[in-house]
Amino acid sequence: MTQPQAPNGTPPQRSATRRSPLHSLTRWFDSWSQVIPEGEFGIDWIRALPFVLLHVACIAVIWVGWSPIALGVAAALYAVRMFAITGFYHRYFSHRTYRTGRFWQFVFAVVGNSAVQRGPLWWAAHHRHHHRVSDSPEDTHSPARHGFLKSHIGWILDTGNFRTRLELVPDLAKFRELRFLDRFDSFVPFLLALSTFALGSWLAVVRPEWHTSGWQMLVWGFVISTVVTSHATFTINSLSHLLGRQRYDTGDDSRNNPFLALLTFGEGWHNNHHKFPTSVRQGFYWWELDLTWLGLLGLRALGIVRDLKPIPVQAFEKQPRDQR
């Protein structure tokens, strides 16, 4: 299969019809190296090993213990990175529901990348494709088509989903800094992991009464926080297409789920979003809590973002299956 040419002279991503351990190891650091062609599925376990080890590392909590400060850092990093995924990766990069400058766009991309959910171009391209084929056989994380486990986590390990589909994000791929971040998407998470370890080690010296350490902060602040953030995000692929109510007929199984909306800062109003994906706000009524929307209002007040796209007036028209 001929790979599409990337915009602005970006080198085309090479196809690898024959996988080798060396190729898989290379993709740990360079996500655009030796990419498997579309249509070739199956888990490349060597490439997936860091993701698997991240989950296994949670067991280390048995040895490192816990402290209030470590739990606080873990919670703070969950909140910051969940907001980055929902407000930046999703509502900005995937749907362009508001505008910002190039500097802040890059800052948003870096913070989102720290959540260990690949680069901004890959994330946005995959999500745009999801909206085009939602709950059809081509939707790789449809629980109705592929089962819960595949829809929740299996899809991200499939070799056929690894390539960044630059042809779906030409508006983003023209920025060289976003291309760099997407290609070397493990760099920012590595720096975050290193920073949590350094923080814990420093606190162990200056505040020994807080009973933390470098390893404890690494496990809680990076490992556990990352795993929880990932699975909370993945519930929108899986559970939000299984559990909840459908206000709108969208032609797919997207549902509104208040519990998932709380967990993911507003993403659980998923049926609302599938009906009107260009709206920056996904909780349409006052009782539909959308923390990401509130956060973006704060960024607008600071002059960081602008031109937030409102809820279309059609959203408030009576629907045949309206279950408000």
Q: What is the pLDDT of residues 200-231, one digit of tens each?
A: 999 999 999 999 999 999 999 999 999 999 99
| Rounded Cα–Cα distance for residues 198 and 190 (Å) | 12
Computed on alpha carbons and rounded to an integer, the radius of gyration of the chain in Å comes to 20
Quick one: DSSP state of residue 38? T
Domains of the chain, residue spans: 49-234
C-beta separation of 168 from 129 below 8 A: yes
Residue 229's contacts (CB-CB under 8 Å, 6 or more residues apart) are 77, 78, 81, 82, 85, 115, 116
More confident residue, 144 or 172: 172
Angle at 233 (CA atoms; ends 138, 61), nearest 5 degrees = 130
| Rounded Cα–Cα distance for residues 155 and 233 (Å) | 13
Q: What is the pLDDT of residues 116-163, one digit of tens each?
A: 999 999 999 999 999 999 888 888 888 888 888 888 988 888 888 888
User: Picking from 75-79, 161-165, 276-280, which range would have the lowest pLDDT averaged per residue?
Assistant: 161-165
pTM of the model: 0.89
Residue 251's contacts (CB-CB under 8 Å, 6 or more residues apart) are 134
The whole-number average pLDDT for the span 269-287 is: 96
H or E element in which residue 100 lies:
strand 99-100
C-beta separation of 164 from 31 below 8 A: yes
Q: What is the pLDDT of residues 313-324, one digit of tens each?
A: 998 887 665 554
pLDDT at 12: 42
Whether the per-residue pLDDT at 185 is higher than 70: the answer is yes
